[in-house]
Amino acid sequence: MIKKFFDPDYMEKDIFCINYKSLYENNIRGLIFDIDNTVIAYDNFLIDEKTRNLFKELNKKKFMICFLSNNKEKRVLKFSKEFKIYAFHGALKPLPFVLKKAIKYFKLQRNQIVLIGDQIFTDILCGKICGIKTILVNPIKLSLSRVEKFKRWIEKKILEFLNNKRT
């Protein structure tokens, strides 16, 4: 059960370490990115040059790209405009409804789409429920709140459990 719903297809340090060329060669054409702590730190508003360039490159590689964020419209729209990438806000991940809209927006097969995010309980679970591939990246910046720390602790335990299963 844990493997079915929480095991990401790939794990990478960050969005820069993902092998997009290999994804393309494996027929992936749609990339859905979580925003907070995946593309930009949750408390940051400024996009750095490196991130800007990455998305420019990805656009050139002929991927379809969109953002899927649980955050509010105002923040999500800001990044949507700056990157010129369509975005879905208030996604309520892990609930599948808004991700399904994003999948429809791409007009691609589900096996051609990957969701990239930093949280097992929202991003990975949501992708798994919808039957698309998932990539887990390390969160850019951890919040110091107790709830967040507790959530990350459980995530760590799940990943340890999955890793033990693999070996």
Q: Give the interface with Mg ion as residue ranges (CB under 5 A).
A: 34, 36-38, 118
Separation of alpha carbons 128 and 95, rounded Å: 11
In the bound state with Mg ion, the residue whose beta carbon lies nearer, of 12 and 24, is: 12
Secondary structure (DSSP) of 106-164: HT--GGGEEEEES-IIIIIHHHHHTT-EEEEE--SS----HHHHHHHHHHHHHHHHHHH
In the bound state with Mg ion, the residue whose beta carbon lies nearer, of 61 and 149, is: 149
CB of 12 to Mg ion, least distance (A): 14
CB-based contact 50:56 (threshold 8 Å): no
User: Residue 90 corresponds to which tokens in the numbers above?
Assistant: 């208030």
Closest CA to 8 of 120, 142, 156, 122: 120
In the bound state with Mg ion, the residue whose beta carbon lies nearer, of 29 and 151, is: 151
CB of 140 to Mg ion, least distance (A): 9
Separation of alpha carbons 11 and 43, rounded Å: 23
In the bound state with Mg ion, the residue whose beta carbon lies nearer, of 24 and 95, is: 95
CB of 70 to Mg ion, least distance (A): 8
CB of 120 to Mg ion, least distance (A): 11
Name residue 127's beta-bridge partners. Answer: none
CB of 100 to Mg ion, least distance (A): 19
